[in-house]
């Protein structure tokens, strides 16, 4: 082989090696970009999950407060209804006692004659 051909082969081998290294580094760079993107997406997903968990906790607290308010209102309404019904019953019983007292007085008056 001539020196020219040998030099051409060496130049070609060096060029091929350089291109191989460039390709390898390009693939590494693409892999790093992919990994960085994946990590960023995971970070965003975690942040969103935390926000959703916080919203759920806030809603649970609000629901608990609303439930307590509803129970308190229901108990108050029940007692108010019972109080009103008891007062009405008591008034009716007083009227019956008055009526019976009048009847007893009338019968006593008739019996005394």
The DSSP annotation for 14-69 comes to: HHHHHHHHHHHHHHHHHHHHHHHHHHHHHHHHHHHHHHHHHHHHHHHHHHHHHHHH
Where residue 69 falls among pLDDT bands split at 50, 70, 90?
A: very high
| DSSP structural state of residue 91 | H
Residue range 81-91, pLDDT digits in tens: 877 777 888 88
1 pLDDT above the threshold of 70:
no
Range with the poorest average pLDDT among 31-35, 70-74, 84-88: 84-88
């Amino acid at each position: 082989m001539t020196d020219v051909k040998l030099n051409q082969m060496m130049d070609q081998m060096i060029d091929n090696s350089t291109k191989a290294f460039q390709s390898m580094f390009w693939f590494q760079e693409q892999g790093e970009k992919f990994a960085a993107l994946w990590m960023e997406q995971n970070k965003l997903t975690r942040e969103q999950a935390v926000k959703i968990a916080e919203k759920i906790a806030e809603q649970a607290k609000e629901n608990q407060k609303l439930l307590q308010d509803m129970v308190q209102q229901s108990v108050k309404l029940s007692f108010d209804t019972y109080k009103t019904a008891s007062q009405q019953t008591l008034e009716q019983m007083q009227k019956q006692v008055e009526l019976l007292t009048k009847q007893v007085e009338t019968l006593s008056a008739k019996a005394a004659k």
